[in-house]
Amino acid sequence: MSDSIVSASTLSRRFEGGGSEVWAVSNVNLEIGSGELVAFTGRSGSGKTTLLNLLSGLDRPTSGAALFRGQDLSRLPERELVEFRRRSIGFVFQSFGLMPLLSAQENVELPLHIIGVSWRERRRRAQEALASVGLGPRARHRPYELSGGEQQRVSIARALVTGPEVVFADEPTGELDTTTARSIIDILRRISAEGTTVIVATHDLSLAAAADRQLEMSDGLLKEP
């Protein structure tokens, strides 16, 4: 794929403990294009989340390479890797990961605050991001005042607010009812259609079916139907 943004070359990750070793990801080769929505599927323990962590630079491989626009993330010094994660990618988690004492807007502003964006610009961009997921009127509410679906939309707005090239989502519909999950799937598809690459790990068959590609993980191995 000539315009690939995320790729892997014989990517592997081994975990050791209790005198044994487990290859959570084994010799994965992969290319994901700009603007694609790709879903990793598979049973719990198949390696989906580990693969997401490797591709996003949250974890380093035992061998092989995870590449972003051809650059091997494992070769970046930790400071550059942190800066890459702050500016080039966004994260959406199953459990939302919101700060409970901050409002929806303050949660969305947080990544911008970390990278030094001025308060006026933070406020403007956070309001835009919340409006894009249909939560403009709920900006001042704290997480406990929001439904699960609303909290996940705040999480998506927070992932988008820095203008990332890629959004990684780990089980983004895992704690949501079917109707609410459908709304989150629609948002992820729209994000992808607007040009942001979206890479998800999911058990949700509806989310997987909405993806441009489904890639199945089994015992650390990647299989493409």
pLDDT per residue over 93-144, tens digit each?
A: 888 889 999 999 999 999 999 999 999 999 999 999 999 999 999 999 999 9
pLDDT at site 55 = 96
CA-CA-CA-CA torsion sign (177, 178, 179, 185) = positive
Type of residue found at 93: F
Q: For residue range 56-90, what is the model confidence (pLDDT) as tens digits?
A: 999 999 999 999 999 999 999 999 999 999 999 99
Structure tokens at 87: 């500016």
Structural domains of the chain, count: 1
CATH number assigned to the domain comprising residue 59: 3.40.50.300
Q: Give the 3-state secondary structure of residue 14.
A: strand
pTM: 0.93
pLDDT band at 2, cuts 50/70/90? very low
Structure tokens at 110: 């947080």
The angle at the Cα of 193, spanning 191 to 198, to the nearest 5 degrees, equals 50
pLDDT band at 225, cuts 50/70/90? low
For residues 160 and 191, the answer to whether their CB atoms sit within 8 Å is yes
- Domain enclosing residue 63, as ranges: 4-223
